[in-house]
Structure 1
Amino acid sequence: MWIAFFLLSVCALCSADRYRQRAEELMKQTPLIDGHNDLPWQLLLSFHNQLSKVDLNQLNETHTNIPKLRKGLVGGQFWAAYTPCNTQYKDTVRQTLEQIDVIKRMCVKYPETFQCVVSSKEIREAFKIGKLASLIGIEGGHSIDSSMATLRLFFELGVRYMTLSHSCNTPWVDNWLVDTGEDPAGSNGLSDYGKKIIGEMNRLGMIIDLAHTSVKTMNDVLKISKAPVIFSHSSAYAMCKHRRNVPDDILRKVSEKNGIVMVNFFNDYVTCKPTANLLDVADHFDHIKNVAGYKAVGFGGDYDGVHRVPEGLDNVSYYPDLVAELLRRNWTDEEVTAALGENFLRVFQQIEEVAKNSTSPAEDEPIPYDQVRNQCRTGYGYGDQNNNGNPLVLMPAVITAASLTYHLLV
């Protein structure tokens, strides 16, 4: 009896080692591209973005550091340039710029590890030479302050996705809390201006991220976008009925649009409870594959953006264990490789192709002033220079010495 038990234990260990070994082999061939990591936010909170005061090789208080990324065989990472909703109508653009800046400086300070990239081709090139392809995603449409020009300039700075909302409405899009009743609907999904933003993102080649949006917003975007979309860090609603997750009907539409859902590891979205484990996360991968197909799934851990992660996925170094579990569940090499990174790379390439073939001019119509008017916003361009929003009345050209002096001074 004891001999039989021993032999069974040895076989189990050998099997586990086989899956883990195969997982590592696949991850060395195809980059695991994670859709969302909030390490930059932790750098702001703990060090005010002063990289001179922290060593990412030694930092242990976070889910993410360089040794953990190496051990986890992470090949590509979207770093979140996140700024909270309470910056909206205040200093959100500055705050977002500072988060973009710290991500770029990570690449400069640790060039042996990080390579900042802006295209699907550059992701592959970075992975090929052993660098972690580092991309920038803006988490929340409030970051652009309802400005097309700001959206375009963020793209010029290297931003490659924008999550349309966080946990607040903007003047042009509704967030997920609308579906819980905690926020009133402001735009009934996308406003007319929100639809123009989707068109501009398609024209630029910026990835549309539907994580954090209301279901009506999801449907509006899936209907009008000319390019595939992503959920950078969301899970399956059928497995955990949390409004941050993706319902089955939306999963099918994402698949029809050739997009992907990158599974979030936050316990509350995995099990709808404070506790979860690696097997629970794998269940979400299985469900999305069964409903939308294996080409519609990816990884979006949300590390360093959440305070509870599943047992067995304690930090970014544990990714190979999850990949091994998918193999144990009879996922084929092709399916695993797709989920690791090929699905995202396909989506990114299609978005780039839509932009390349676009003949539309840059969208320059401003959002209506009454939708953004507040005490923290001036109204230049909308009305008179006193910013009261009234139409500018052109007076006869009477130039006096006093008026000439005033205009020269200002």
Structure 2
Amino acid sequence: MRHFLLAAAAVALVTSGPVLAQSPAERTAAAALEAAPVWDGHNDVPIQLRSRFGNVIGDFDFSDTLDTQTSERSAMHSDLARLRQGMVGAQWWSVYVSPGLPEAEAVQATVEQIDVTKRLIARYPDALQLALTADDVEQAMGAGRIASLMGMEGGHSIGSSLAVLRQMYAMGARYMTLTHGKTLSWADSATDAPQHGGLNAFGMDVVREMNRIGMLVDLSHVSEEAMMDALDVAQAPVIFSHSGARAITGHLRNVPDSVLARLPENGGIVMAVALPWFITEDLRQHSALRAAEEARLEALYPGLPDTVEAQLAKWDAENREPVSTISDLADHIDHIRDVAGIDHIGIGGDYDGMPTGPIGMEDVTGYPALFAELAQRGYSQEDLEKIASRNMMRVMREAEAYAASVTDMAPLEYRAGEPRDAAD
């Protein structure tokens, strides 16, 4: 862990002055992150490579991406220097593609995202290491490299095919979020009209097959009913790769208490997200009010976009947007601990997939500050180590152990071309 010890010392010097001047909470957080660096559940660098550079990365410098800011886009949140400053020792890279793509195109695009992610990892062998197993993660972190894993974000990436699911696993994908923002022919999304009351029969088979091959089932983005159906079927721990607690912020992307209460039995974890509109209720409410005001103005002034813009600017000036803070994120972690327990919490920032993180955690450098906040609230070093990476390590090992225990189980088969929505 020499690499992480040095990084922690650098963070301490930058953020808190001399090590001796650190507060007890900062020292506890630093010790925890030295022993168990952050294993982050969700980072969207791969889609940034696609949208900004068309996946042509020969001239892309991942050692420092602060120069990626343009007149239209802010700078990327992640690079090697800032990941080290943030004490990130393992990263799930999301190979996300738009759920609006037709399924065949989504499958191709996902393969392209796996390819560009592997190419990025290969370009920085001293800093990044492809990880396909929990042992790989442990070995990479021990060598001072950032263990790099890949997760698919949305079942549209497999084109309603268990064969494609198995081949994505063979290419290196180690989790799949069952949906993204759109309901599929076999699974309901949290943010789209439901069609199945959760998962249909094929959707439950997707969960079974993921368990069989050792791919983690990710329930961020799915409806509460789909979460429940997945937990009914799952034989291995599930993850929520980037979600908050719905009791704290009512966004439907967050996890309700009914589901949190089931996590101890399943063994899964919620990897707490940093996206401000998911963790700060005042900000969520403000966003809804602004959208309503914009719709009202467009109804009042049809065909007069300049008037709408001027009136909306006036509303903005009179209704300042609330701020999101590290304390807000810590409130979600507190709640997950209170309902599910300390063994069922992780971290899933969602960096490079949102405009910004909360104040003090605007990019991936902010994790030490979050852990200092948690230590200030009374979390022990052991608690913090669990949240940082030990819980995620346990989940992955248990999923691998289940897959190893059923190697004699035959793959689930469907006839080619059979409609999956007929499986209800």
Provide TM-score, normalisation by structure 2.
Answer: 0.81
Contact 2:186 2:421 in 1 (8 A): no
Segments of 5+ residues of structure 2 without an aligned counterpart are 1-15, 67-74, 284-320
Q: CA deviation at 1:16?
A: 4.8
Contact 1:116 1:133 in 2 (8 A): yes
Equivalent position of 1:176 in the other structure: 190
Q: How does 1:354-373 map to 2 (within 5 A)?
A: 354-358=402-406, 359-366=408-415, 369-371=418-420
Q: How does 1:314-329 map to 2 (within 5 A)?
A: 314-329=362-377
1:345-399 CA-to-partner distances (Å, cap 9, x unmatched) read: 11111100110001310111147734479xxxxxxxxxxxxxxxxxxxxxxxxxx
SS where residue 176 of structure 1 aligns?
coil
1:101-150 CA-to-partner distances (Å, cap 9, x unmatched) read: 11111111011110000111111110001000000000000000001111
Equivalent position of 2:263 in the other structure: 254
1:150 matched to 2:154? no
Instruction: Give the fraction of aligned pairs with identical amino acids, expressed as a percent.
Output: 37
- Counterpart CA distance in 2 for 1:369 and 1:245 is 33
1:248-290 CA-to-partner distances (Å, cap 9, x unmatched) read: 1111112221110000111110013163001111111111111
Contact 1:26 1:337 in 2 (8 A): yes
The structure where helix makes up a greater share of residues is 2
Contact 1:297 1:339 in 2 (8 A): yes
- Higher-RCO chain (CA-CA 8 Å, sequence separation at least 6): 2
Q: Which amino acid aligns with 1:328?
A: Q
Q: CA deviation at 1:188?
A: 1.9
1:298-345 CA-to-partner distances (Å, cap 9, x unmatched) read: 100000101132001011011111111111111011111110111011
Equivalent position of 1:390 in the other structure: none
- Counterpart CA distance in 2 for 1:214 and 1:271 is 20
1:50 matched to 2:56? yes
Contact 1:123 1:133 in 2 (8 A): yes
Counterpart pick for 1:208 among 202, 217, 222: 217
- Counterpart CA distance in 2 for 1:100 and 1:106 is 10
- Counterpart CA distance in 2 for 1:368 and 1:282 is 47
Equivalent position of 1:86 in the other structure: 100
Q: How does 1:335-346 map to 2 (within 5 A)?
A: 335-346=383-394
Greater Cα radius of gyration, structure 1 or 2: 1
Moved more, 321-330 or 24-33: 24-33
1:42-81 CA-to-partner distances (Å, cap 9, x unmatched) read: 1111111111121011211111011100111100000000
SS where residue 298 of structure 1 aligns?
strand
1:66 matched to 2:80? yes
Equivalent position of 1:299 in the other structure: 347
Segments of 5+ residues of structure 1 without an aligned counterpart are 1-9, 178-182, 374-410
- Counterpart CA distance in 2 for 1:332 and 1:366 is 53
Q: How does 1:1-400 map to 2 (within 5 A)?
A: 16-60=22-66, 61-177=75-191, 183-272=192-281, 273=283, 275-358=323-406, 359-366=408-415, 369-371=418-420
Q: CA deviation at 1:41?
A: 0.7
Moved more, 268-277 or 329-338: 268-277
Moved more, 49-58 or 165-174: 49-58
Contact 2:186 2:200 in 1 (8 A): yes
- Counterpart CA distance in 2 for 1:366 and 1:161 is 25
Q: CA deviation at 1:296?
A: 0.7
